[in-house]
Amino acid sequence: MSNQQSGAVARYQLLPAVRDFISKPKRMLIGADWVAAASGETIDVLDPASEELLTTVPSGGEADIERAVRAAHAAFDSPAWRDLYPTVREKMILKLADLIEAHAEELAQLEALDNGKSVMMAQIIDVGAAVSFMRYMAGWTTKIEGSTIEVSPPMPGVKTFAFTRKEPIGVVGAIIPWNFPLLMAIWKVTPALVAGCTVVLKPAEQTPLSALRFAELVLEAGFPPGVLNVVTGYGHTAGAALARHPGINKVAFTGSTSVGKRIGHAAMDNLTRVSLELGGKSPMIVMADATLDMAIQGLAGGIFFNHGQVCTAGSRLYAHRKIFDKVVEGVAGAATQMKLGPGLDPTTQMGPLVSAEQRDRVCGYIESGLKAGARAIAGGGAASGKGYFVKPTVLVDTREDMAVVCEEIFGPVLVAAPFDDLDEAVRLANGTRYGLAASIWSNDLSTVHRLIPRLQAGTVWVNAHNVVDAALPFGGFKESGIGREMAYGNIEMYTETKSVLMFI
Ligand code: NAP
Ligand code: MG
């Protein structure tokens, strides 16, 4: 395997730490131990830009999940974690954020290798946003509060004292996708640690590397063994075993709507608490008065950021008929100029998709749209040569019943259609089963404010798209999920409320 490994790794300008990490045999973290899968099986980790083997990781299954859940329970019950003051947990989380920041370039290279995204973007977004999120969340550790409540029992004269306590929910099973591997891990693990929970994390099979490096840094930051356990493996084996495990107190999932529904069913069998951040098909609505140069740039970013592999990607463009041609030509121009290449090439503007499966899925959608009568004014399929590259694509002449318009593609594909008035814009925007996000591009405050309440979306951006902030609740309406991450509500997802009533 070492010969096969050397190809991609030797070609890129990698930090020595990244080379070392890739060349070490990969083990998963259960309790204090770095272990192989009980079955001994492994999963190949590929470089999506060259299709070459980078390394392998353990293919964890039911027995490994069982062991990890036990380790997480032992850590949850141990005074070394349970009895820590909030100030100590806060300090540990801040130390972990510092460690991640200190290793930002290394983690970004790892992410670029594993996922295909641009190393520069990975450093700013994946690592940068993760560090900001951790620092924001760390502050809540010392601000978790219950309340005292005056009660009226049916026994006149009895003196009472009643209060609520917020307690950690227990062991969290976190299942995450491959589009922002480190950031998704940190979005799940941090609020759980803030609340005093312990975690079993299952990263996506396509992108397990940054989660394993993150686990090393968690131990380095001083968290007791068992507080974070990472089981690498497939969704249908490790993921399913985690979601249905009766020892899991909460499942936190980000991924597709179809898998989210399955996880929800499995969790419900044990009445395990569950939060689901799922897919989307988010509209971008451009009013006739929008500042078009700014809007065109923003719209191109709205769909092509992270190669369209973003749950909030602005994958449907609705522009007022008066400006429709100018807007779509502008976005198509931006698409055509984008330079495709490996994420580790600093001149790359768009890397490969994450896997051959994802490339084929995205190209299948494009073909189905073209067959149904849509027209590509940019892109239109895979790029030739090695790597899972798909050309940034803009489709016009679409109809509402086409799969490319109503289903999530999760790739660099924009569908565009004109509208004539606000009612039509609202009807089109709300016309899918999803409700994750939407953006409005306009300078007319009155129109913007009339539109906001009518959009079925968990987040509405105005003259922006894809901007997520740790202080602003994030999640979906309709089939885009259940629950809201970010802000204080994110901590409540990892706590139970205990009511205490005393006769004194
Ligand atoms: P996915 O197929 O749903 O996978 C997500 C995770 O679930 C992976 O770790 C996967 O494991 C695991 N999984 C698959 N089948 C499972 C099962 N039966 N039981 C338990 N776990 C299972 O999604 P994806 O293709 O990786 O990611 C893309 C999707 O995520 C898109 O639909 C996107 O919109 C959504 N997403 C949503 C958000 C949000 O915040 N709303 C953010 C990012 C992505 P394996 O990959 O190892 O099979
Ligand atoms: Mg998958």
Q: Which of 41, 65, 114, 259 for mutating ligand 1's site (highest number of atoms within 8 Å of CB)?
A: 259
Q: Span 353-376, mean pLDDT?
A: 98
Q: Where does the pLDDT of residue 10 fall: very low under 50, low under 70, confident under 90, or very high at 90 and above?
A: confident
Q: Span 421-431, mean pLDDT?
A: 98
State residue 385's pLDDT score: 93
473 CB-near residues (< 8 Å, 6+ apart)? 458, 484, 485, 486, 487, 489
Instruction: Pull the structure tokens for residue 120.
Output: 């520069």
Active site residue 311: yes
Q: Span 238-266, mean pLDDT?
A: 98
* 7 has a pLDDT exceeding 90: no
102 CB-near residues (< 8 Å, 6+ apart)? none
* 4 has a pLDDT exceeding 70: no
Residue 45 forms beta bridges with which residues? 55
Closest to 177 measured CA to CA, from 293, 263, 255, 85: 255
Q: Map residue 393 onto helix, strand or coil.
A: strand
Q: How far apart are CA 39 and CA 135, in angstroms?
A: 38
State residue 6's pLDDT score: 52
Q: How far apart are CA 322 and CA 418, in angstroms?
A: 9
Tell me the pLDDT tens digit for each residue of 466-476. 999 999 999 99
3-class secondary structure for 196-243?
Answer: CCEEEEECCCCCCHHHHHHHHHHHHCCCCCCCEEECCCCHHHHHHHHH
Active site residue 363: no
Give the torsion through C-alpha atoms of 468, 472, 478, 483, to 10 deg. Answer: 110
Q: Span 419-432, mean pLDDT?
A: 98
Q: Span 151-165, mean pLDDT?
A: 97
The size of the chain, in residues, is: 504
**Separation of 203 CA from ligand 1 center, angstroms?**
9
217 CB-near residues (< 8 Å, 6+ apart)? 96, 99, 100, 103
Task: Report the mean per-residue pLDDT for the chain.
Answer: 97
Tell me the pLDDT tens digit for each residue of 210-236. 999 999 999 999 999 999 999 999 999
Share of the chain above pLDDT 70, in %: 99
* 61 has a pLDDT exceeding 50: yes
262 CB less than 6 Å from ligand 1?
yes
Q: Where does the pLDDT of residue 3 fall: very low under 50, low under 70, confident under 90, or very high at 90 and above?
A: very low
By mean pLDDT, which of 3-17, 275-289, 367-381, 486-500 is the weakest? 3-17
Q: Which of 62, 64, 114, 175 for mutating ligand 1's site (highest number of atoms within 8 Å of CB)?
A: 175
Q: How far apart are CA 358 and CA 371, in angstroms?
A: 20
245 CB less than 6 Å from ligand 1?
no
The catalytic position among 106, 111, 205, 311 is 311
Report the Cα 301 to chain-centroid distance in Å.
18
Q: Where does the pLDDT of residue 1 fall: very low under 50, low under 70, confident under 90, or very high at 90 and above?
A: very low
411 CB less than 6 Å from ligand 1?
no
Instruction: Pull the structure tokens for residue 475.
Output: 């999640």
Q: Which helix (H) or strand (E) holds 28?
A: strand 28-30
Ligand nearest to the CA of residue 312, numbered in listed order: 1
Q: Span 56-71, mean pLDDT?
A: 98
* 75 has a pLDDT exceeding 90: yes
Whose Cα sits closest to atom 16 in ligand 1?
235
* 2 has a pLDDT exceeding 50: no
The catalytic position among 277, 408, 485, 492 is 277
Q: Are 349 and 117 in contact (CB under 8 A)?
A: no
Which atom of ligand 1 has the smallest separation from the CA of 255?
Answer: 30
